[in-house]
Structure 1
Amino acid sequence: MTRRALVLGGSGFVGSYVCEHLQRQGWHITVPTRQYATGKHLLSVPSLQLTEASVFEPGVLASLLPGHHAVINLIAILHGNQKSFERVHIEWPRQLAAACGQAGVRRLVHVSALGADASGPSMYQRSKAAGEAVLREAAAAGAIDLTLFRPSVIFGREDNFMNLFARLQKIFPVVPLAGASARLQPVWVRDVARAIVRALDNDTAIGETYEACGPEVYSLGELVRLAGCWAGVRGGTGRPVIELPMGVGRLQALMMELVSSQPLMSRDNLDSLKVANVASGHLPGLDALGVTTAPLAGVAPLYLGHTGVAGRLNEMRRRAGR
């Protein structure tokens, strides 16, 4: 039987890797995208159908679901107001669960966030928790077979995390940073994608919530410094990181919000940093799905290090091959 998966948010950073791993496991994949051009990089994936469609439009999701055996939902936002967070993180999962139930597509994998907490300090965290609750309610009613993933910050070649920190250090002599002491447990995008696909093939994953975290915990300040080091900034030493008081950081974030709808750091992002973004230990990790997570230091230098650590290693390999 041909297995078909509908990947919502499939043209994004994480979605692209999920599609790659699905194809390797023999799945046929449908990826809807609002603009065909934004998903053109997926056209090289065999057995993938790219469809220009806005899933938020009435009736579109219902027309896409028939014929699929599973849905993977990666749609989320990092910035916005209360209304936009509720629309994407709460109302959308509610609509998705209802549509799956009506179409008879039971298997749903939903990617939430490690900080999801109904009492969390940020709108992002609270809305993510509310979205999980909506889906659990649908699962309890028998409408869907649900698996949840809660990733920490995700890194990889195309990320807007380590790459952003590296770019900033190539421009500015110092990095002023609020929340520098916040703790995170970054996870490689390929490990997350591999775990999502394995969950689809594993009935024991139904009803589970997995914490998707890497093997190491870093402070945000350490991650910023390492990004500069691995990118070869200032001879591989990176720029100084200056921790800002949270009050000053919030003022800086407000100014960024006023000039961009996608700021480098919003006030809500800063609120999220008030709690550690690390595994609780109370829920299974990716190892429960047979995924051994890669350390940041084993991956990030390879895509950041044009003149840094990886660059020097590549030069040594080149010379050894002469």
Structure 2
Amino acid sequence: MRTKTVCILGGTGFVGQHLVSRLGQAGWHNLVPTRRPHRHRDLKLIPHLELTAVDRLDAATLAPLLAKCDAVVNLVGILNEQGETTFERVHIELVRELTAAAAQAGVERFVQMSALNADATGGGSAYLRSKGAGEDLAHRAEGLQVSSVRPSVIFGRGDSFFNRFASLLEMSPGLFPLACPDARFAPVWVGDVCEAIARLLDDPSTVGRRYDLCGPRVLTLEELVAQTADWIGRRRLLIGLNDRASQWQAKLFERLPGKPFTMDNYWSMQTASVCAEQNGLLELGIHPSDIDTIVPTYLR
């Protein structure tokens, strides 16, 4: 049987590194375009992985690469804008170029990574609106068999959620002011997200579907940060900020290098990141993993 090839955009990122490992184990050959292959030489240790250098992520550049692929997975996304790296360019224009390239190359199967609460017109933040627009664009593309996943905050080894708060707690002198303490999340394990994508690729009945992906529990941000402090053995007094103070923190922090917290992040957290109806993991036959069984294994 011929080995199938999947092109994974964003394959060098947090979710991407877990996904190429999962698909490689399933027998897929992973083609991962990147501008700087030399920065990711460690990924060459993963079986069935091919890094390929690209200068641009436009249809003209991507179409020849996709010509040897059976499927495409788009994981590319940003939480904050930086200079020319905007939500419009990353979440919408890239999807337009990628779907055009897939159509030119004759690739039919396409999986789009979106976000819970993504909505092109009703999203509560620019991030969520752009994610929704990109998701809609992918599903409207002619000639493509598209499925999308819409996860809550993703956790796992190498994540930027629990690891980030653990680092901040380590540096905190004792008091820890926390914006949006009542924001609600249903953290979903990266392994479950990757398993969902793998099943979508192999199941034609999922074409046209959009799957919300959530973990088994809903917790507030304050509860998640408090649990993180316990796991790393740091006693900190969490000071939950009210709405006005949270906005002031966002306006201050978005001026700092790396934009650790922005007003757009604040607006995103005004909508609970939970599955309102059916959890797509359960629909796909996946039992969601809880933070208690996984996060301590990499924070400690």
State if a TM-score over 0.5 links the two structures: yes
> Aligned in 2, Cα 1:55/1:293: closer, same or farther, shift over 3 Å?
farther
Measured in 1, the distance between the counterparts of 2:12 and 2:276 equals 30
Question: CA separation of 1:199/1:57 partners in 2, compared to 1, >3 Å: closer, same or farther?
Answer: closer
2:117 maps to amino acid: G
Amino acid at match of 1:193: C
1:252 equivalent to 2:249? Answer yes
Q: Is the 8 A contact 1:109 1:147 kept in 2?
A: yes
Equivalence map 1:271-290=2 (5 Å): 271-281=267-277, 283-290=278-285
1:155-192 CA distances to partner (integer Å, 9 max, x unpaired)?
01111110111111111112111111011000011111
* TM-score, normalised with respect to structure 1: 0.88
Q: Does 1:178 align with 2:173?
A: no
- Give the share of equivalent positions with the same residue, in percent: 42
> CA offset at residue 284 of structure 1?
5.0
Partner of 2:115: 113
Residue 267 of structure 1 corresponds to: 263
Secondary structure of the structure 2 residue equivalent to 1:159: coil
2:262 alignment partner AA: S
Distance 1:132 1:198 in 2: 19
Cα gap change, 1:58 to 1:96, in 2 (>3 Å): closer
How far did residue 82 of structure 1 move?
11
Aligned to 1:20: 21
Aligned to 1:46: 47
Q: What is the CA distance between 1:33 and its match in structure 2?
A: 1.2
Q: 1:284 to 1:68 in 2, by over 3 A?
A: same
Q: Describe the superposition over 1:253-296 as per-residue Cα deviations: whole angstroms up to 9, x where unpaired.
A: 22222222x32211100100111000011x55112222111101
Q: Does residue 297 of structure 2 align to residue 302 of structure 1?
A: yes
For the residue of structure 2 that corresponds to 1:109, the secondary structure is strand
Matched, 1:64 2:65: yes
Give the Cα separation in 2 of the matches to 1:185 and 1:289.
18
Distance 2:110 2:208 in 1: 10
Aligned residues of 1:32 and 1:55 also touching (Cα < 8 A): no
Opposite residue 225 of structure 2, the aligned amino acid is: V
Q: Tell me how far apart the structure 2 counterparts of residues 125 and 82 of structure 1 sit (CA, whole Å).
A: 19
Superposition map of 1:23-172 within 5 A: 23-57=24-58, 59-80=60-81, 84-117=86-119, 118-138=121-141, 141=142, 143-172=143-172
Specify the SS of the correspondent of 1:43: helix
Superposition TM-score, scaled by structure 2 size? 0.94
Q: Give the Cα–Cα distance (whole angstroms) in 2 for the partners of residues 243 and 41 of structure 1.
A: 40
> Alpha-carbon deviations, 1:90-145, whole Å to 9, x = none?
1111111111111100100000000202212210011111111111211xx3x200
Q: Which letter does structure 1 place at the counterpart of 2:222? A: G
The offset of 1:240, in angstroms, is 1.7
Structure 1, residues 227-253: CA drift from partner, whole Å, max 9, x if none?
Answer: 11111113xxxx121111222222222
Aligned partners of 2:79 and 2:127 also within 8 Å: yes
Q: Provide the rounded CA distance (Å) in 2 between the counterparts of 1:254 and 1:113.
A: 24
Match of 2:217 in 1: 216
Aligned to 1:315: none
